[in-house]
Amino acid sequence: MIREERVNEFEHVQGKVKWFDPSKGFGFVISDDGGPDILLHANVLRNFGQSSIADGARVQIAVQETPRGAQAVQVYEIAPPTEAQTVPLADFEQMDPEVLRDAPLEPARVKWFDKAKGFGFANVFGRSEDVFIHIEVLRRSGLAELQPGEALAIRAVDGKRGRMATEVSAWEYAALQTP
């Protein structure tokens, strides 16, 4: 049984996303220190500025013990899954890594994204051409899915198939990271 005085306390936890399903509206985090799975609700993730998170992503969260178990109440930081960062994408293999890394962050909105197809498109503010977003770029960026109209910050380069995103983040998160 949970002691009543612990119910309102928050604990700072670092861990890894076990799984998250945007259509169900929740998922679970495994603490680095062990213990029971921690519920991560979509509303808590949205308060951070994201509608999804990739399985295996690293997180720093505030956790509250409730009568129903441990629940995340705030997300402080999200880092992409480390195993996904090492997978090279064929579209970027011939490009200079510095060019990919140094592309400016640009404000964009999701035009559409189909997780089953593995890609979608966004519109960058002030530009007429669409930017192609591959699902592997999302995973490397710590995201699992995008919703139409969602605000993003993207790094894009000219590729074999036109403008292509090399990195994607929630607009709110990117705004906090920019000095």
Please tell me whether residues 73 and 103 are part of one structural domain.
no
What string of DSSP letters covers 73-86? EEEEEEE--HHHHT
Q: What pLDDT score does 51 carry?
A: 82
* pLDDT tens series, the chain, 179 aa: 333 444 458 899 999 999 998 888 899 999 999 989 999 999 999 888 888 888 888 999 999 999 989 999 999 988 877 754 444 566 777 777 777 777 888 999 999 999 888 899 999 998 888 999 998 888 888 888 888 998 898 999 888 778 999 888 877 665 555 55
Closest CA to 145 of 30, 28, 26, 23: 23
Domain end: 32, 48, 79, which one?
79
Number of domains observed in the structure of the chain:
2
| Same domain (yes/no): 37, 92 | no
* 87/75 same-domain check: no
pLDDT at 42: 92
Same domain flag for 71 and 15: yes
* Whether residues 10 and 72 fall in one domain: yes
Q: Which domain holds residue 130?
A: 82-177
Does residue 93 sit in the same domain as residue 111?
A: yes
The pTM of the full predicted model, rounded to 2 decimals, is 0.66
> In sequence order, what are the beta bridge partners of 31?
15
The reply to whether 100 and 171 lie within a common domain is: yes
- Count how many Cα atoms sit within 13 Å of the Cα of residue 62 in the half-sphere of its side chain: 11
Is residue 7 packed enough to be buried (19+ CB in 10 Å), middle (13-18) or exposed (0-12)? exposed
Same domain, 61 and 104: no
Residues 91 and 169 grouped into a single domain: yes
Domain boundary among 41, 62, 79: 79
Judgement on whether residues 62 and 16 belong to the same structural domain of the protein: yes
- Note whether 125 and 71 are same-domain residues: no
